[in-house]
Structures are given as C-alpha cells and as structure tokens.
C-alpha cells in the first residue's frame, strides 16, 4: 500500500477529493484522526495531506500537515465556538463586491479585510459589475482602499474589463474568492476559465439579493497553474478571536498612529489626545472606515 502527498480539493459529507500527482482520489479520513473533541474542521480544502491508496480511485487520509494559516469563519455552536475553515493555506483572498446590484456593503468589506489582516492573509478587492456604474461612481465606492495599501481591481464579466488582471493574479497561487451572494464570484471564475462553467444565477429582482447559487466549496485547478476556490456567498463573518484592544492594528491607516495617542490603552472614541480622532478630523482617516472601526469595536453593528 503506497502513501502519497496530496492537496484537498473538495470536502463534502465525510468524503474528500484529494489531488495526488495527476490523479484525483476520493478519500475518507482514517478513523483515529476523528477521535476526541474538535473545535474546528480537521480537514478542509487547501489542506496538504498524506493518503494511502486503496486503488487508483480511492484512498484514506492518514495525516494532515499543519496549516500555515487558514481563512476561517467562526461558527457559534451549542458545544462552543467552532472554526469552520473556508480555505486552508491560502496565498490570498479576493474580496469580491459588486459596484451595483447588489449595492456594496462597505462595512461588510471592512470586516472581511480585518479578518484577513488578523489571519495574516493578503487580500485584494475586486469591484465587479463595473459595467453598471460610471467610473466616478465606482471610484467613490472603492477608491478609498487603494491609499490604505489594498489593491483594487475593477472588473466586468459583461465587458471583459479587468479579467486579465484577475487571471494573472490567480496564476500559480492558492486563492479564494469570497464576498456576498450575487456579486459574480462564479461568473468571474467561469470567465477566466470557461471550461469550468460554474453555476451562476440571476439575482432576485424583488430583493436585489443573491440566491446563494454556489453551495459547495471546492478548489478548481487553473489551466495556467494554481487553484481557486469559489465560495458560497457569505452573509456574515464573525470576528474570529479578535481582542477589542488589538482591532486598531488591523486597520492599516490606524496601525502606525495608535502609539501617538495620549493614553496607551486608547479606544479612540472619547479619550483626550487621541491621534486617531485627530486624523479623522483632518481627513487622513476616512470617516467611513472610522465608523466601521467603532462598529466593530463597540458592537454597534452585526453584519
């Protein structure tokens, strides 16, 4: 019985599709790995595993390599908080939002960015459906992120704008596309690699909300090298294990200023001598970003 390294491409109901060399093998998890109490997914897409082959199509996952990092979501369950691993070991996460239809929820984007900062994963913002708005409108929505150090790519699956840039970005990397439902994540991937032809669907006219067309998380192998995961639309991402005092460190525009506040445990809300508030007043910090910070810090909002 030979043992081979592999990459988990798909996880569904206890079965895993694992790419070993050129083959994709259907695997179960060795029983002993499942023993004990688990506070998170044992195996997720993006995990590197060792598989013992039963035949050319089936195998057993014997061990899982430690994750460097993971793009995860916190899932409160009766037994305690569970770490649902959306993608293990990502090189980057593409935060996909639409310029319109559905209108972008910037607080939600801010929350995604904070989570990626905390999990140590580079993020890129994709502003899709660029064909539905003017350039000025698109920039008024997403332009504020570039000076913070985030790359913003404006795309349209309809006109093809920006698609090459996204395709180059994905090349030879392990990436995830995330964002709300109906923004065009599956459409973007299908446009980059038509042979995949992922399911995409019209968004509901009545609510302007997506319908959660993509249900299973799966890594797709790209012809130009690399893998991309199409995620189901996310309604919410809870902040994972973030201490309130460390939140300002996940806002790039605040990070370097916090040491200059008068109080070293400044929450940047009401304290005198706060350099963050001063930066908001004189325009160095965008007021919307500051409001997002306050909302996350003081729980005035749930996205």
Ligand X SMILES: Nc1nc2c(ncn2[C@@H]2O[C@H](COP(=O)(O)OP(=O)(O)OP(=O)(O)O)[C@@H](O)[C@H]2O)c(=O)[nH]1
| Interatomic CA distance for residues 292 and 204, integer angstroms | 28
Residue 155's nearest CA partner among 213, 220, 93, 99 is 99
Q: Which is nearer to Mg ion, 156 or 213 (CB)?
A: 213
Q: Residue with structure tokens 């988990």?
A: 8
| Interatomic CA distance for residues 40 and 25, integer angstroms | 24
Regarding 291 and contact with ligand X (CB under 6 A), the answer is no
Which one of the spans 18-26, 81-89, 127-135, 240-248 is the region binding ligand X (CB under 6 A)? Answer: 127-135
Q: Which is nearer to Mg ion, 19 or 185 (CB)?
A: 185
**Pairing assessment for the beta strands 58-64 and 23-29 based on DSSP bridges:** parallel
Which one of the spans 16-24, 41-49, 117-125, 150-158 is the region binding ligand X (CB under 6 A)? Answer: 150-158
Tokens of 214: 């993509």
**Pairing assessment for the beta strands 92-98 and 174-178 based on DSSP bridges:** parallel
Phi/psi class of residue 293: alpha, beta or left (left: φ > 0; alpha: ψ in -120 to 50)?
alpha
Q: Residue with structure tokens 């809870």?
A: 238
Taking CB under 5 A as the criterion, the residue among 106, 268, 286, 289 binding Zn ion is 268
Which one of the spans 91-99, 134-142, 178-186, 242-250 is the region binding Mg ion (CB under 5 A)? Answer: 178-186
Regarding 113 and contact with Zn ion (CB under 5 A), the answer is no
| Interatomic CA distance for residues 277 and 12, integer angstroms | 47
Q: How far is the CB of 202 from ligand X (least distance, A)?
A: 4
Cis check for the bond before 142: say yes or no (omega within 30 of 0).
no
**Residues of span 205-244 touching Mg ion by CB under 5 A:** 213-214
| Side-chain-side CA neighbours of residue 79 (13 Å) | 6
Taking CB under 5 A as the criterion, the residue among 17, 123, 155, 186 binding Mg ion is 186
Do residues 163 and 188 lie in contact, with contact meaning Cβ atoms separated by under 8 Å?
Answer: yes
Specify the DSSP element, H or E, that contains 241: none
Q: How far is the CB of 230 from ligand X (least distance, A)?
A: 7
Q: Which is nearer to Zn ion, 83 or 271 (CB)?
A: 271
Regarding 162 and contact with ligand X (CB under 6 A), the answer is no
Regarding 220 and contact with ligand X (CB under 6 A), the answer is no
Regarding 178 and contact with Mg ion (CB under 5 A), the answer is no
**Residues of span 165-184 touching ligand X by CB under 6 A:** 181-184
How many C-beta atoms lie closer than 10 Å to residue 20's C-beta? Answer: 19
Contacted by 266, from ligand X, Zn ion, Mg ion, none: CB < 5 to 8 Å by type: Zn ion
Rg (the chain; Cα; Å) = 21
Binding mask 224-263 vs ligand X (x if CB under 6 A, - otherwise)?
--------xx------------------------------
Taking CB under 6 A as the criterion, the residue among 19, 106, 111, 129 binding ligand X is 129
Contacted by 132, from Mg ion, ligand X, Zn ion, none: CB < 5 to 8 Å by type: ligand X
Phi/psi class of residue 113: alpha, beta or left (left: φ > 0; alpha: ψ in -120 to 50)?
alpha
Residues that bind ligand X (CB under 6 A): 128-129, 131-132, 156-158, 181-187, 200-203, 210-214, 232-233
Site for Zn ion, rule CB under 5 A: 261, 266, 268, 274, 276
């Amino acid at each position: 019985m030979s043992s081979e390294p592999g990459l988990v491409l798909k996880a569904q109901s206890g079965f895993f599709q694992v790419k070993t060399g050129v083959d994709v093998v259907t695997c179960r998890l060795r029983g002993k790995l499942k023993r004990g109490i688990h506070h998170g997914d044992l195996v997720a897409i993006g995990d590197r595993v060792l598989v013992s082959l039963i035949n050319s199509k089936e195998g057993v996952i014997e061990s899982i390599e430690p994750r460097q990092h993971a793009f995860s979501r916190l899932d409160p369950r009766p037994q305690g908080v569970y770490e649902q691993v959306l993608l293990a070991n990502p090189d980057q996460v593409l935060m996909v939002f639409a310029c319109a239809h559905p209108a972008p929820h910037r607080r939600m984007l801010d929350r995604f960015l904070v989570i990626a900062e905390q999990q140590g994963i580079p993020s890129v913002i994709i502003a899709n459906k660029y064909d539905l708005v003017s350039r000025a409108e698109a920039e008024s929505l997403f332009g504020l992120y570039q000076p913070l150090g985030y790359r913003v790519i404006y795309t349209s699956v309809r006109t093809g704008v920006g698609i090459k840039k996204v395709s180059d970005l994905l090349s030879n990397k392990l990436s995830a596309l995330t964002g709300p439902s109906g923004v065009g994540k599956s459409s973007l991937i299908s446009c980059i690699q038509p042979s995949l032809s992922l399911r995409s669907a019209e968004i509901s006219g009545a609510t302007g909300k997506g319908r959660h067309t993509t249900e299973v998380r799966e890594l797709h192998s790209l012809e130009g090298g690399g893998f991309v995961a199409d995620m189901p639309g996310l309604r919410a991402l809870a902040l994972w294990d973030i201490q309130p005092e460390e939140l300002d460190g996940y806002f790039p525009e605040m990070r370097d200023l916090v040491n200059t506040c008068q109080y070293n445990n400044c929450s940047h809300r009401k304290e005198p001598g706060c350099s963050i508030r001063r930066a908001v007043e004189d325009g160095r910090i965008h007021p919307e970003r500051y409001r997002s910070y306050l909302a996350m810090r003081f729980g005035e909002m749930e996205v």
